[in-house]
Structure 1
Amino acid sequence: MEDSKQKFIPYGRQSIDDADIQVVVDVLKSDYLTTGPAVENFEVKIADYVGAKYAVAFSNGTAALHGACFAAGIGDGDEVITTPMTFAASANCVLYQGGKPVFADIDPETYNIDPNEICKKITAKTKAIIPVDFTGQPADIDEILKIAKKHNLTVIEDAAHAIGATYKGKKIGSIADMTMFSFHPVKHITTGEGGIITTNNRDFYDKLRQFRTHGITRDTSLLNENHGPWYYEMQFLGYNYRMTDIQAALGASQIDKLDQFIERRREIVDQYNKGFSALNELITPHQHPDGSSSWHLYVIQLQRYLLSIDRKQFFEELRKANIGVNVHYIPVHLQPYYQKLGHKKGDYPVAEELYEQIISLPLFPAMTDEDVQYVIDTVKSLVQEHQIK
């Protein structure tokens, strides 16, 4: 099925234009390459966009999640409930603080963490919940917040996939106690590498800002002593997780185009949905009735009993056709490191069964209609060639 004439279509790719390049050049010519005004400007733009009071930028999304776990007071022995159907960072951030990630299985319709499963996992040691907005589809955040309130838990929403998404008319980033967005190049907007936490809680905001800078503060209202204008104090063990002005300037330029990026993603999703509507061999993504996805990923689920080809072969055939498909994700608890921590295959059957059947198709704003149609035609051809009649 290899097509040597077809250009390679990656599953995701940044969209950078001349305006983005110019703002980076402007920073490179300025006095500040890091810890300057571009970072604060970017934080304000993100907070304003999502409707949150505060935003704190970090060097990457994982660092941002680590900061959120610190701000939430997670420490040795504390348990934090999250989903196995995510990238490792959603659970690793708990381990960084000495806590214990506890997984709860997913809803088979939305692929997000199931609130009913969360309830089964709560113990006296539970300190927080980290729901993940998988593929850009908001988790059932109201139900999760109700559970958290009942048990006095903090909700840290991993919205790495979901900037621009809405839940019951509210922008993701304005609802949970803390929300993380990622700016890796395959995400909706990019800073190269980068992440941010939004929050409406001033205490979390102050802790996040200090945590990303070695635990150091110059705020005179917080100092134990004050030797003069140069004086600063390291008040706890923080990290060097700062975002540079170069990254922040790029992000501030990108966010001006975010809505049009999301609009294009939704157009591509509509094309995919129409193109695959007659194929019983595929399950296309469901939209949560209370949420509007920002569509980071478009994940198809193969109905293996209707096909004479397995997922690995299907994947390889698409790659041969220069379609850069991927799989999101290998459930975290199946990773060797997490197996050493006591997790095992069979613990979360819904997530495991889903993993065996899914493939992520290309989805990014610069895809042309011809690119999208080529993906649709290739997938349909594969299904028709291998359908069990």
Structure 2
Amino acid sequence: MKDQHPLQQPIPYGRQHITEADIAAVVETMRSDFLTQGPQVAAFEEAFASYVGARYAVAVANGTAALHLCSLALGVTEGTRVITTPITFVASANCVLYCGGSIEFADVDPDTILLDIQHIRRLLESKPPGYYSGIIPVDFGGNPVQLQELRELADRHSLWIIEDACHAPGGYFYDDQGEKQLCGNGKYADLTIFSFHPVKHIATGEGGMVTTNDEALYRKLLLYRTHGITKDPDLLQENHGGWYMEMQELGYNYRISDILCALGLSQLQRADEGLLRRKELAHRYDQAFGEVPEIKLVQTAASATGLAGDTGHAYHLYIIQIQDRKGLYDYLRQHQIFAQVHYIPAHTMPYYRRLGYQKGDFPVAEHYYSQCLSLPLYPTLSDEEQDFVIEKVKEFFQK
């Protein structure tokens, strides 16, 4: 008979945490006058902007919609070339293609699995000025990109930055003055996007957010979010009365409902608590696997100016690298532990291969993919359950 963990329930790699307070917040909104386009949307935006330290926030249908809106707001069009990482969910690259632009991947750092800034620098220096328009770095797994260094490089080449922080609400890095810079605070990125998918830190089912400090970009996001339509009297070219509205741009229906924003507001109230628990669990994994020779751990990208031991990692994922990834993946599944792989390199997907990419283009990313495995990590994972995961991982290498 297969060994089962003490609670006899499957252990997924991620799981949402819905409380009675969350349910009550949703029910209260469902009993109100607004199910969508009501006060909960603005309240969630204001609270989230405050949480990450940004001037503006725009709530949208999902993280992919957030990326698409950012590309639209920044003027991505045919001929626009943008650099991103192949180790990400494909939406980070697809958003540029939606607007007619083209994506160029850069390889990742072998230790942090974040975009390799040296590779980006070589790309930029190999092309004439103006060849590239922007960069989309990803705070992969919750590991925050050192955006100050990237911003300096982007400014030298007149590039914009969209920070994909879907994995990193509450994450941060330290700048060269030793100041904490929260992911999404808008100091170094023109726009930052977040996702509220169930396995993320803040869950609304589906949902996303864009943060920025740029008022002009903020206004564009609001317009594109709702079909390119405005009712703002100060923006109308004509005004026939209180009912009047104008479609001023070709936009989309990327709105989010009040129901989901009520859930997001409730979840946001305990976001720090969940983040602390993720860090505790990650530390327990570090302690368990730090001396296991068969396991390589992904390093943090903390600035040397940060506080000792304070990496700012948001720990959406806890990733290990092992030679026999499939063997361990299957062994854990036999014991009802459902690990996951993040990510299949985007450039190896059939669609991107049709655009000219091929296996072998980004060897560091591909080597990482051949060995990576995300272990269970979520705030309601108990110590007992985690101990069982650790036991089975170690047991695999002792067979």
1:87, distance to aligned residue in structure 2 (A): 0.4
Partner of 2:183: 172
- In structure 1, C-alpha distance between the alignment counterparts of 2:242 and 2:122, rounded to whole Å: 53
1:337 and 2:351 aligned: yes
Counterpart residue type for residue 319 of structure 2? V
Q: Which residue of 240, 246, 264 corresponds with 1:233?
A: 246
Distance in 1 between residues matched to 2:72 and 2:153, nearest whole Å: 21
Provide the C-alpha distance between the structure 2 equivalents of 1:150 and 1:99, rounded to a whole number of angstroms.
22
For residues 71-119 of structure 1, the C-alpha deviation after alignment (integer angstroms, 9 at most, x for no partner) is 1111112001000000000000000111101100001111000111112
1:90 to 85, 89, 92: 92
Q: Which residue of 1 aligns with 2:155?
A: 149
Deviation string for 1:275-324 (max 9, x for gaps)? 1122010012312222410100000011x2xxxxx221221111111111
Q: Give the counterpart of 2:54 among 49, 52, 55.
A: 52
1:184 counterpart SS class: coil
Q: Distance in 1 between matches of 2:218 and 2:352?
A: 31
- Give 1:104-123 correspondences, 5 Å limit: 104-122=106-124, 123=127
- 2:308 match: none
What is the alpha-carbon distance in structure 2 between the residues aligned to residue 204 and residue 116 of structure 1? Answer: 29
Alignment of 1:151-300 (within 5 A): 151-168=157-174, 169-174=180-185, 175=187, 176-290=189-303, 291-300=311-320
Match of 1:327 in 2: 341
| SS of match in other structure, 1:126 | coil
Q: Is the 8 A contact 2:146 2:302 kept in 1?
A: no
Confirm whether residue 102 of structure 1 aligns to residue 104 of structure 2: yes
| Structure 1 residue identity aligned to 2:385 | D
Q: Secondary structure at the match of 2:133?
A: strand
Distance 1:87 1:332 in 2: 7
Does the 8 Å contact 1:102/1:121 carry over to 2?
no
CA distance in 1 between partners of 2:20 and 2:313 (Å) = 28
1:200-220 CA-partner distances (Å, limit 9, x unpaired): 000110000111100111122
Q: Which runs of 5 or more residues in structure 1 are unaligned?
A: 305-309
Distance (Å, rounded) in 1 between the aligned partners of 2:118 and 2:4:
49
1:320-366, Cα deviation, whole Å (9 max, x unpaired): 11111000000000000000011111111100000000100000000
Cα distance in 2, alignment partners of residues 125 and 218 from structure 1? 38
3-state DSSP of counterpart to 1:148: helix
User: Does the 8 Å contact 1:115/1:140 carry over to 2?
Assistant: no
Mapped partners of 2:352, 2:103: distance in 1: 10
**Cα distance, 1:3 vs structure 2:** 2.9
The alignment covers a number of residue pairs equal to: 379
Kept in 1, the 8 Å contact 2:59–2:255? The answer is yes
2:123 and 2:251 mapped to 1: Cα distance?
30
**Alignment match, 1:37:** 39
Which amino acid in 2 is paired with 1:364? Y
2:108·2:364 contact (CA, 8 Å) conserved in 1? yes
Please list every run of 5 or more consecutive structure 2 residues that lacks an aligned counterpart in the other structure: 175-179, 304-310
Give how far 1:24 is off. 0.1
Structure 2 residue 357 is the aligned partner of structure 1 residue 355: no
Partner amino acid, structure 2, of 1:21 = I
Aligned residue type for 2:197: H
AA aligned opposite 1:154: W
Give TM-score scaled by structure 1 length. 0.96
* AA aligned opposite 2:283: D
What SS does structure 2 have at the residue aligned with 1:356?
helix
For the pair 1:312 / 2:326, whether they are aligned, the reply is yes
CA distance in 2, matches of 1:216, 1:289: 42
Name the CA distance, whole Å, in 1 between partners of 2:80 and 2:208: 24
- SS of equivalent to 1:163: coil
SS at structure 2 position matched to 1:80: strand
Q: Percent identity?
A: 51
**Contact kept? 1:12, 1:186, Cα under 8 Å:** yes
Residues 36-76 of structure 1: per-residue CA shift (max 9 Å, x gap): 00000000000001100000001000000100111111111
Q: Write the deviation string for residues 112-132 of structure 1: whole angstroms up to 9, x where unpaired.
A: 001111122234331111000
* Equivalent position of 2:71 in the other structure: 69
Q: Distance in 2 between matches of 1:315 and 1:105?
A: 25
What is the TM-score normalised by the length of structure 2?
0.93
Find the aligned partners of 1:178 and 1:167 in 2 and give their Cα distance: 17
